Amino acid sequence: MTTIRLYWNNICVLHRQELQFLNAIREELRKDNIDLDITCFGLGYGRHMSDYLREEDSVLPDLVVSTDLEVFEDERIWNRFREHGLLPLKEFFPVKDIPELGGLKKASALLPYLAIPLVFYSDVELLRQTSMDASSINANFFTGTDADSEQSISLNRLVESSFPLSYGGINNSAVKTVAKLTWESFGMETAKHFLTASNVFDMPIQAFHQVSIGASPLALVPSVYALRADGKKNKAYWPLEGAPAIPSYICAGTSVPKDALFAVIEKLRGPRFSHFYTTNGCLYSCAPADPLPDLSFLEGSRTNRGLLVPSESFLNSLPAETFYKMYHRVFPAGS
């Protein structure tokens, strides 16, 4: 029996259903003489994977599936994996060849698994009032309001105007990704100012609730929450420049037989997972044969479905200590 240690920190809001799938896969793999030892991190499990892996005595896994991007973007963690050896998974597993996923294709050891779009969710009337209030915003953030184009909202204009946008995920990848994208486009000081001016919450669902109860006109939320837009009181918009995306990556070490690892990865990329994610979470699945999410409920998605992630060159040039020095000034308790 080959034992494979899997660390899992994926779609937190869907973690209960994920665990059901994982347990079913574990039973199937036993028939192939593979013992899948699963440790889950994230919401519902007490700690994030990156927090654990920063500890000096933490044990490295054989296989990782994670939306906790600091596992891959914090060089203090990523270098530990590299030193122990990583398989170039992208040489063995194809990725869906569409423009939206182009930015996710980074190091050969990182196999894109899923992408969570962050989209706008609005209180229609409150947003209309806010957009008409010159003291609230210095530039019109609506675009495409003519009869021949879809209406969309510009994230860049919100950043430039220091609009009090609501979003959440201080201790997960959502807020960190927004911070890094803003830093790359506008510089560190603008990123810090935008984070300070925004209504930032511990969890993304809190930002969603702020709009739902009429306390905030506009939030940037994972697509799974935006699915609740009714198109009347609440509308959802695909950001004009593209939706900030939280990728999920698979990476694997060289500590166990390759054939056993590949058997697990094939199961994880199977249709039972991918159809669930695209249907219930409106997520992009990166395996070539998997369906695309239905984005028709989102204003602006007919003409633009781009996904935004920080570039590989920017991430490589941003030391973790530099990023966290700024981040902890804004969120002293942030991990």
Longest dimension (CA), the chain: 67
Q: Rounded to whole angstroms, how far apart are CA atoms 223 and 246?
A: 11
* Per-residue tens of pLDDT for the chain, all 335 residues: 899 999 999 876 676 788 888 999 999 999 999 999 999 998 777 789 999 999 989 999 999 999 999 999 999 999 999 999 999 999 999 999 999 999 999 999 999 999 999 999 999 888 888 766 544 444 566 665 444 456 889 999 899 888 889 999 999 899 999 999 999 999 999 999 999 999 999 999 999 999 999 999 999 999 999 999 998 899 999 999 999 999 999 999 999 999 999 999 999 998 888 888 888 889 999 999 888 999 999 988 887 889 999 999 999 999 999 999 999 999 997 66
- Identity (one letter) of the amino acid at 281? G
Tell me whether residue 326 is exposed, middle or buried, using C-beta atoms within 10 angstroms of its C-beta: 0 to 12, 13 to 18, 19 or more: middle
Task: Spell out the residues 6+ positions from residue 289 whose beta carbon is closer than 8 angstroms to its own.
Answer: 271
Would you state the pLDDT for residue 102? 93
Would you state the pLDDT for residue 258? 95
Q: Three-class SS of residue 7? A: strand
Would you state the pLDDT for residue 146? 45
Of the candidates 224, 243, 230, which has an alpha carbon nearest to the alpha carbon of residue 294?
224
Please tell me the pTM assigned to this model. 0.92
Q: Rounded to whole angstroms, how far apart are CA atoms 55 and 59?
A: 9
Would you state the pLDDT for residue 44? 73
Of the candidates 146, 176, 180, 142, which has an alpha carbon nearest to the alpha carbon of residue 158?
142
DSSP secondary structure letters along 274-304: HHHHHHHH--EE-STTSPPP--TTSBTTTT-
Q: Do 286 and 114 contact (CB within 8 A), yes or no?
A: yes
Q: Do 27 and 82 contact (CB within 8 A), yes or no?
A: no
Residue 333: half-sphere exposure toward Cβ, Cα within 13 Å: 4
Number of C-beta neighbours around residue 316 at 10 A: 12
Q: Rounded to whole angstroms, how far apart are CA atoms 291 and 274?
A: 8
- Identity (one letter) of the amino acid at 161? S
Q: How many helices (H) and strands (E) does the chain have?
A: 14, 13
- Identity (one letter) of the amino acid at 190? T
Would you state the pLDDT for residue 216? 94
Q: What is the 3-state secondary structure (H, E, C) of 101-166?
A: HHHHCCCCCCEEEEEEEEEEEEEHHHHHHHHHCCCCCCCCCEECCCCCCCCEECHHHHHHCCCCCE
Would you state the pLDDT for residue 129? 81
Q: Rounded to whole angstroms, how far apart are CA atoms 134 and 146?
A: 21
